Amino acid sequence: MDREISGVLIIDKPARMTSHDVVIHVRRLLGTRQIGHFGTLDPFATGVLPLSAGKATRFAQFYLKSRKAYEGTMRFGFSTDTYDGTGAPTSNQVQVSVEAAELEILFREFTGRLMQTPPAYSAKRIGGARAYDLARQNKPVQLEPVEVEVYAFELLAAEGERARFAVECSGGTYVRSLAHDIGQKLGCGAHLEDLRRTAVAEFTLDRSTTLEGLAAVREENLQSCLVPLEALLPDCPELVVRGREEKNVRHGHRFELGQTERFGRGTGRLQAVTLLKIMNPERRLIAVARHVAGSIYHPDLVLV
């Protein structure tokens, strides 16, 4: 039987494992099938991979497009078909020594809202098939550009044919594509040599645990590795309900906020917020409600 475990594990994913590999490994470690993830990380990449356990698996809908942060290395001189170091070269290798000043200008050009074409070797679907499956079969892959946002793009070091960088971007942004597109701009080709994810939303590397560390945790200390349900969505206002109100929320009924329960955003005016965390009098999370209209909210996610 599945054990009663609910919360988020922040795993420091090792290289050469897929996100699904990590999920399977943790399911075996914890003896529960109720393990999922809040978005994949490429097999060659390392770093933050939030895994949801138990009731937390239902929170994936709120995190798949979350802000993410990375550090990595671009290698200039040739491009690859996967846009990273695991792929086959798609251009002749040339000797190049990148200039920090030129890269800083380019990084500013790739900051803000961008139209980005995903790599052919990606999990995007084309007519029901994964793009990477078509690419591996040498079939044509035509992917449409999508809008992404790069919030910050910083050059950490540049030497010879390599550049270290840090980037913060919206969910759905391919850092591999950033490296490839910058190489195309420079005319020398480039690919992503290594990548380490340092944050997904509120989940950060300094709170992560390795798979080896998780395996060494005793059962009674497992809670110390879990982010509890009540700590999820930290930017959402909380509303405490009791009595009949609590019962109605648990049954998924819409409710209306009273004037004194509306939330301001620093302007002195009362405004609706998109999501509310609904707590019981013991400060346990019982639901997440979404704004419908006016002061009306609907419990989209009820934890029974």
Instruction: Give the CA radius of gyration of the chain.
Output: 22
pLDDT digits (tens, 9 = 90+) for 123-155: 888 888 888 888 888 888 888 899 999 999 999
Q: Which structural domains are found in the chain, ordered by start?
A: 7-65+202-228 (3.30.2350.10), 68-200 (3.30.2350.10), 238-302 (2.30.130.10)
In whole angstroms, what is the distance from residue 96 CA to residue 187 CA?
10
Q: Is 276 helix (H, G, I), strand (E, B) or coil?
A: strand
pLDDT digits (tens, 9 = 90+) for 273-290: 889 999 999 999 999 999
Q: Is 285 helix (H, G, I), strand (E, B) or coil?
A: strand
* Catalytic residue check, 42: yes
253 CB neighbour count, 10 Å cutoff:
12
Residue tagged active-site, from 12, 42, 84, 181 = 42
In whole angstroms, what is the distance from residue 242 CA to residue 159 CA?
61
Q: Which tokens belong to 170?
A: 């919206």
pLDDT digits (tens, 9 = 90+) for 151-206: 999 999 999 999 999 999 999 999 999 999 999 999 999 999 999 999 999 999 99
Q: How far is CA 74 from the centre of its chain?
A: 21
Q: For residues 96 and 89, is the Cβ–Cβ distance under 8 A?
A: no
C-alpha closest to that of 205 among 48, 16, 42, 9: 48
The model's pTM:
0.90
